[in-house]
Amino acid sequence: MTARSVLIVGAGLAGSRCAETLRAEGYDGRVVVVGEEPHAPYERPALSKELLAGTRTSAELRAPGFWAERGIELRLGERVEAVDVQGRTAGPALAWDALVLATGARARRIPLPTPDGVHVLRTLADAAALREELRPGCRLAIVGAGFVGVEVASTARSLGCEVSVVDVAEVPLERVLGREVGEVLAARYRAYGVDLRLGTGLAGFVAGADGRVRALELADGSELPCDAALVAVGVAPEVDLHGDPRDGIETDACGRTALPGVYACGDVAAAWRPSLAARLRVEHWTSAAGQAAAVAHAILGRERPYDDLPYFWSDQFGLRLQHVGHAHEWAAVELEGDESSFAARYLDREGRPLAGLLANRPREVGLLRRELAGAARREAA
């Protein structure tokens, strides 16, 4: 039986995409999307890029009116505090036949006393507050050389800020892209004037008499003066409503959880990927959109498992990075090109490609996808 009412918690990409797919597929029951943020669904990737740079003023996913025209009830600025799975309600007023948890993730914070002027970046409100700091000449210290950290470094440099990036790793993005690529990227960041402080962590924030951050104290004993700081040390999935203490809500490839009528998609979900024979929690746009569509189909009783090759992009220091595939670990990296245009292939022990990274080579993405899909098929045979 098809659900008569669908409650979607989270009005980010995954929640909103699930709602619009339900309507696009002809669902005519009630669709309610509850979002804690006061904004209509927006493009989170723009927060570290065009929106922070000021080259774009709105990041809304759809034109105003889109949701109402489709009879999708957006309840913004409301947080769902608890759900009753037996009674199929959430709060006193929200009954559901199908519940979609699309609650995303929240920025991790560092458990240290934190003065004013220290930011995180996950929401539109975070981006607005950080943007206020990024005046020409501002000294911005970034803790964490992951994607959000380096994208903000890139944008801040373009706005005329002095930027330092601190990370315990020896090269930027080492965990995801490996040492070889990290070294190429480090050279590029330095060429763009970024002061990289690698191989050392944060020991504390130093506040001035005005209560604002004036320096970072690093684990190597040095002090890094700054006017503002960004903590970009990753995210934690918003699992509170599900109560699952693991890293994400576990689902099958259609987004079904172990609880009847309850689905999860997007950054909060650890979804089964049949072709990888693994459960993955991916914090990227393309997976969130694909999983959300799979959930909508599952609610309608149509099996449409999401099993595309993982894909993400990042824009930084004049590079469009595009990563295809999944490599948790690899035996070797093949790298060709130079720091303004390169390709890296991550290989297993038998020399089979697991994943690939392209920098400023958009035309090679299709080829890379085919190569990786072919390798996966040969592996399965």
- Please give the Cα distance from 160 to 166 (Å, whole number): 19
Residue 330 is a binding residue for ligand FAD (CB under 6 A)? no
CB of 182 to ligand FAD, least distance (A): 18
- Please give the Cα distance from 379 to 366 (Å, whole number): 20
Out of 283, 305, 306, 317, the only residue in the binding site for ligand FAD (CB under 6 A) is: 283
CB of 61 to ligand FAD, least distance (A): 10
Q: Which is nearest to 343 in space by CA: 181, 188, 176? A: 181
Residue 79 is a binding residue for ligand FAD (CB under 6 A)? yes
Site string for ligand FAD, 100-139 (x = CB under 6 A): --xxxx---------------xx-----------------
Out of 99, 241, 344, 357, the only residue in the binding site for ligand FAD (CB under 6 A) is: 241
Residue 229 is a binding residue for ligand FAD (CB under 6 A)? no
Structure tokens at 28: 């005519």
- Please give the Cα distance from 69 to 37 (Å, whole number): 21
Burial code of 343-353, b = ≥16 C-beta within 10 A, e = fewer?
bbbbbeeeeeb
Residue 321 is a binding residue for ligand FAD (CB under 6 A)? no
Residue 156 is a binding residue for ligand FAD (CB under 6 A)? no
Q: Which is nearer to ligand FAD, 66 or 313 (CB)?
A: 313
Helix (H) or strand (E) segment spanning residue 355 = strand 353-359
Q: Which is nearest to 33 in space by CA: 102, 105, 122, 124? A: 102
Q: Which is nearer to ligand FAD, 36 or 348 (CB)?
A: 36
CB of 42 to ligand FAD, least distance (A): 8
| Residue 118: Cβ-neighbour burial (10 angstroms; 0-12, 13-18, 19+) | buried
Q: Which is nearest to 134 in space by CA: 118, 156, 154? A: 156
- Determine the 3-state secondary structure of 157 from DSSP: helix
- Determine the 3-state secondary structure of 29 from DSSP: coil
Out of 285, 306, 317, 346, the only residue in the binding site for ligand FAD (CB under 6 A) is: 285
Length of the chain: 381
Site string for ligand FAD, 14-53 (x = CB under 6 A): xx------------------xxxx------xx-xx-----
Residue 94 is a binding residue for ligand FAD (CB under 6 A)? no
Site string for ligand FAD, 205-224 (x = CB under 6 A): --------------------
* 286-315 residues near ligand FAD, rule: CB under 6 A: 286, 288, 312-314
CB of 18 to ligand FAD, least distance (A): 9
Neighbours of 31 (CB within 10 A): 26
DSSP state letters, 82-123: -EETTTTEETTTEE-SEEEE---EEE---SS---BTEE--SS
Q: How many residues bind ligand FAD (CB under 6 A)?
A: 36
Q: Which is nearer to ligand FAD, 182 or 255 (CB)?
A: 255
Which residues of this protein are in contact with ligand FAD, per CB under 6 A?
9-15, 34-37, 44-45, 47-48, 79-80, 102-105, 121-122, 148, 238, 241, 266-267, 283-286, 288, 312-314
